[in-house]
Amino acid sequence: MKGNRTRCRVWIVRYDGPPPSDWLAPPRDAIAMEPAEPGTMSRRKATRYVEAFNRAALSGAKRVWAVTLPVAVRYDGDAEPGKRIAHCA
């Protein structure tokens, strides 16, 4: 996954210690809660999302943070050239 083709998933995590000093750094001992949005984003969009979310999170009482994770999208079970198609019921 290189350059602009890197896809990212933004996750909301909870944490107990102090928030990170860097918007993009995960908190120490972060525990994943849920994806922030369905699907994936470009690295640039994920970075903007995380920065905005974490700025807002610091003003609230909940100890939540957004983190960006690079992911690979796989299409398990997708058709391939020359492969017989199985009908999905």
Q: Is residue 3 pLDDT above 90, yes or no?
A: no
Residue 58 DSSP one-character state: H
Where are the strands (E) in the chain, listed by range? 7-14, 31-35, 41-42, 64-71
pLDDT per position as a tens digit, 30-82: 999 999 999 999 999 999 999 999 999 988 888 999 999 999 988 787 777 78
Integer angstrom CA distances of residue 17 from 8, 21, 63: 25, 12, 9
What is d(CA 26, CA 21) in angstroms, rounded to the nearest whole number? 10
Single pTM value for the model: 0.77
Exposure of 85 in the CB half-sphere (CA atoms within 13 A): 5
Residue 67, both tokens = 């983190």
